Amino acid sequence: MNGKRPHEVVVVPGDGIGPEITEAAVRVIEATGVPIAWHEALAGEAARQRYGHPLPDVTLDAMRTARVALKGPLLAPKQTGRVTIRREGVENTYPSVNNALRRELAVFANVRPIKSYAGVPSPFPALDVVIMREVTEDTYIGWEEMKGPDEAWAIKRITRQASERIFRFAFQYARRESRRRVTAGHKANVLNLTDGLFLQCGRDVAAGFPEIAFDDYMVDALCVRLVKQPETIDVLVLPNQYGDILSDLCGGIAGSLGLAPGANVGEQVSFFEASHGAAPDIAGQGIANPIAFILCGAMLLGHLGEGEAAKRVQAAVATVLKQGRWLTPDLGGRARTAEVTSAIVDTLQPGRLGVEGEKGGG
Ligand code: ATP
């Protein structure tokens, strides 16, 4: 502890491997010495058992009050089903707990830094991309309609307000993280109005950040570029649907789901969660890869203004992966969750890290 007032952070252990990787991430964050007062809140199966609801008000209220949370994975819709939240007399039903959480907390950006690491085999060793996906609109607003028995329509909604917000957020991130380029993905040659507006907002916002390069690609050309020349893409801004697809593409080519952290950012509340799910198939065995969630911890530290501690965690993860001794089974190794965590905690000790100020990664 360094005598500073502790940051108040909610921690939601979640389902499946959630409690195991939460223990790991909390251990690593505590090893940085940044004072944090953790407030545990339940969601998913644990909440259903305790409160009879997978996303109780007490959890949402705790997250709204603290404004920042480390959130473990929750089981997918097929296991938990739809969720109804009643608030101030209004009732909303969502397809899953994860979806309910994002919508109730008014998240507007999903941020996924995805990179390859020395020590982890990947056909794309130069991959180092931060995906910024707009999550409030586009075709995923779910406005669909049958126009007769054999015709279905879906509405694609793009607004200047939401598009400028995601681009502003991306450029501010690029400035803060010393990233050099922001790229927009779109299909404005076909969707002149909707994707055209999205792209125009990117150009408008870019004008206010002259030190950061801005370019754009059609989303199909972007897929080719990501697998042929990933080093040319740095911060990538996408509308909701393309963002969903390309996040998974990048996660896949980076080598393992167990390495990709993520942040859900809102005007009021932000929460940090790994890109992977609850992995019920390996829960309780002590072999889950904790690294994605530990890197979520680094993103959380950065969000709290503890950038130096965040960089130390990223560097410790990179060092441990490079050594190749402490790899969990998903990375081809035999190490256990607790061993990987201890190796990262040891590497964080003073004098063990020549922090090389690595770019991104968490
Ligand atoms: P969801 O729909 O919530 O994404 P899912 O079952 O489709 O759930 P995951 O839970 O991410 O997806 O699991 C996909 C596979 O990846 C599983 O075999 C799981 O064991 C593995 N996996 C996911 N996360 C990790 C991790 N942190 N460490 C090791 N293996 C993992």
Residue located nearest, by CA, to atom 14 of ligand 1: 279
pLDDT at 3: 66
Q: Is the shortest distance between the CB of 259 and ligand 1 below 6 Å?
A: no
Confidence (pLDDT) at 360:
38
Cα dihedral 219, 225, 227, 233 in deg (nearest 10): -90
Predicted confidence at residue 283, as pLDDT, reads 97
Q: What is the pLDDT of residue 285?
A: 98
At 361 the pLDDT is: 38
> What are the backbone angles phi and psi of residue 208, rounded to the nearest 5°?
-85, 0
DSSP 92-131: EEESSHHHHHHHHTTEEEEEEEEE--TTS--S-TT-EEEE
pLDDT-flagged residues of the chain (< 70): 1-3, 76-81, 353-362
- Which tokens sit at 53? 């609801």
Q: Which pLDDT does position 89 carry in this prediction?
A: 87
CA 46 to CA 41: how far, in whole Å? 10
- CA-based torsion, 327, 114, 246, 282: positive or negative: positive
Regarding the beta carbon of 288 and ligand 1, being less than 6 Å apart is answered yes
Q: Catalogue the E-assigned strands of the chain.
A: 7-12, 36-40, 68-71, 83-87, 90-94, 107-115, 128-134, 144-146, 152-154, 181-186, 213-218, 235-238, 263-266, 270-272
Nearest CA to ligand 1 atom 16: 279
- Measured distance CA(170)–CA(209) in Å, rounded: 11
Atom of ligand 1 nearest to the CA of 329: 29
Q: How many CB atoms lie within 10 A of CB 222?
A: 22
209 contact partners, CB below 8 Å, separation of at least 6? 171, 174, 175, 182
CA atoms within 13 A on the CB side of 129: 32
How does DSSP assign 219-258, residue by residue?
A: HHHHHHHHHH-GGG--EEEE-HHHHHHHHHHHHHHHS-GG
Identify the active-site residue in 215, 220, 322, 346.
220
Whether 187 is catalytic is: yes
Atom 20 of ligand 1 has which residue's CA nearest to it?
A: 279
* CA nearest neighbour of 247 among 140, 153, 132, 336: 132
Rg of the chain, C-alpha, whole Å: 20
Q: pLDDT value at position 249? A: 87
Main-chain dihedrals φ then ψ at residue 216, nearest 5 degrees: -150, 155
What pLDDT sits at residue 136? 93
Burial label for 227, CB within 10 Å (0-12, 13-18, 19+), is: middle
- The token pair at 51 is 């409160």
The verdict on pTM exceeding 0.85 is yes
Catalytic pick among 94, 140, 173, 217: 140
Atom of ligand 1 nearest to the CA of 276: 11
Ligand 1: residue whose CA is nearest its atom 15: 279
pLDDT digits (tens, 9 = 90+) for 259-293: 999 999 999 999 999 988 999 999 999 999 999 99
- Determine how β-strand 144-146 pairs with β-strand 152-154: antiparallel
51: left (phi over 0), alpha (psi -120 to 50) or beta: alpha
Whether 335 is in the pocket of ligand 1, judged by its Cβ within 6 Å, is no
DSSP 8-state symbol, 356 = -
* pLDDT (0 to 100) of residue 212: 98
Secondary element (H or E) of residue 345: helix 337-348
Q: What is the pLDDT of residues 145-165, one digit of tens each?
A: 999 999 999 999 999 999 999
Is 248 known to be catalytic? Answer: no
Q: Which is it for strands 7-12 and 68-71: parallel, antiparallel or unpaired?
A: parallel
- The pLDDT mean for the chain works out to 92
Ligand 1 in reach of 289 Cβ (< 6 A): yes
